[in-house]
Structures are given as structure tokens and as C-alpha cells.
Structure 1
Amino acid sequence: MYGIENYWGFVAAAILLNLTPGSDTVYILTRSIAEGRKVGIASALGISAGILVHCVLVSLGLAQIVAHSPTLFAILKYSGAAYLVYLGIKMWRSPPLDAGATEKGVQTGLWPVFRQGLLTNLLNPKVVLFFLALLPQFVSAGVASPLPFLLLGLTFLLTGTLWCLLLACAAAPFGGLLRRQPVFGKMMNRISGLVFVGLGMKIGLSR
């Protein structure tokens, strides 16, 4: 079908891979718990938008440039790490969030949150390598068209987006309970900031 081999096997693999915790999962859970459901959903959609860009780059063969350029790969990696550390420091220094206001989505603009999720995904070159390693295994040999790569990428995007939205919606009520406790409410931003700094360091130090 359109140069794709074992499509349903790919769907099963995509679901299993989406269920495996990674940096995107930690990012969405952290933001959902710390800032509420709307922020978590905006973060998930931003990450999905980043995955869509990666899918298009892989389909057009442009991702090969990143994979074969150590300099460009390093620039993306360290930029992504620095950006996560920046977000962590910013959240650490932010005042405690009011539980009621956060749940109504009035304390945090959703467009900046979406943009932050997008950038954290775009600046992670490991996503490019992931798609370059996974997608060709399900494309027939000798196929030159970008269509099968794009269809597989969109399938992965669909399953991943649904899972990320579920995570955001499931984690937000737990965060709401924590924010209602004075001790946890004051600590929430600092804990989230530490998580983001840790993610940034993990990406920056990875090989």
C-alpha cells in the first residue's frame, strides 16, 4: 500500500513506542501537573507540531543533512538543552500558581506554551534520528516517493498526539490536588523547574 510494508505492524510499534516514557512524556506530565489541563494540552499540541515538522523533513530527505552533519547535530542538541534549562530556571523563579486561576487557564497564555512545546521538540535532534531509523524499516526497498514516509509519520503523529492529550488530561487533576496544599503549591514551580533543568542536562550530555 503506497510503498508501505506491514502497516499494521507499524501502528502496533508506534503505539508501543508512544507508551514508552521519554523526554516529551516527562515534559507534558510536568507542565500538566504544575500548570493545569489547558497548559498540558497546549504543550502536547506544541510537541505534536514539532513531530509534524520532523515527519515532513524526513519525508523530503532533509533530515539526512542533520544526521550526517555532526556540527549541525551538536548545534541543535545544545540549543535544545539550553532552552530546557532556560525554561527550568524561568519556572523556578516564577511565583506560586493559584489553583483556581490555573484551572481556568488565565494565568498562562496558551500560545507561548504551545510555542515552548514546539521548540523543545524541534531542537531535539534525537527525534530526527529516531524517524530516520524507524520509518525506512516499513517502506518497500527502492521506493523514492516521500508519500510512504509521510503517511507513516502522520500515523505516528496521530497515535502520539492522542496519547499525549490523554496524559495531559489525566495528570492535571492530580496537580490540582497538589496545588491546593500550601506546602506543595509553593514547591510546585521549583520541582518543575528542576525537572526541566534535568531534561536539558540529559539532552546536552547525551551522545
Structure 2
Amino acid sequence: MGALLTTSAFWFTVVKWAGGLYLLYLGIKLLRSGVQIGGIEKTAGGGSRWKLFLNTYLVTALNPKGIVFFVAFLPQFVTPAANVTQQLWLLAITFVVLATINATLYALFAASARRFLTSPRAQRRFNVVGGTLLSSAGVWALLAKRSV
């Protein structure tokens, strides 16, 4: 797709206009959206937290992008003279532990910020700021000139 857009001015313009108009549409839609009274409802779909955790873990572990990342990134930090398997396991486990800590901290932050983020005032601000940014990006994309 990138090669086609690089060589064809027509298709580049078509994609640019489609993307710009879509961003403009999303921005206007967000600016016109109302505020939910009573905050955000609980997510649908029952089940325990362990089931949710297991599902999330499986989706993440089987994600091809993650696998490609490990295959391409981790070998750069391996010393060929030492036990390669041990080094790869150590690096992978370190990454998973740090990613788990990171996700846990995000969850704790989100839980503590939930009351603030679900207030009508915050929702209105998010809608205005988000809608303005999306609309501005759409206008920018529509007015952008193609560099040769």
C-alpha cells in the first residue's frame, strides 16, 4: 500500500481526502455528542476477573506482533558464548514482569481517576478537546500538500 501511495498521486490524494474527511466527521460527531448522566455503565459480559485475565493473557501471548518483537528484539541482548536458552528466558521473564507491573499501575491509576473522568464536566471537556483535535487533524490532512 505504501509503495502504491508513493508512486500514484491520484491514489495518494484519494486516501488523503478519505482520511481527512473521516477525521473531520469523527471530530464533529464528538463535538456534538452529549454527556452521559450517571457516568459510564459497567461493561457488559459476566464472568470472573480470572477469566478476563486469562482471556487477555492468551490474546496477548498469541499476538503475532508480540512474537515477532521477541524474535527480533531479544537476540540482540544475548551473548553467544553463554547459555542462549537461559538468557532468552531471563529476558522474556523480565519483560513480562515489567509489563505486568506497568499494566497494574495503569489499572490502579484508572480506578482512582474514574470518578473524575466520568463527571459531566470532564466528559464535556474530553468531547470538546477531542473533537477539536480530530477536526483540526482532518482539516490539516485535507490542506496538506504532497512533498515530492
User: What's the TM-score bracket when you normalise by the shorter of the two chains?
Assistant: 0.3 to 0.5
TM-score, normalisation: structure 1 = 0.33
TM-score, normalisation: structure 2 = 0.45
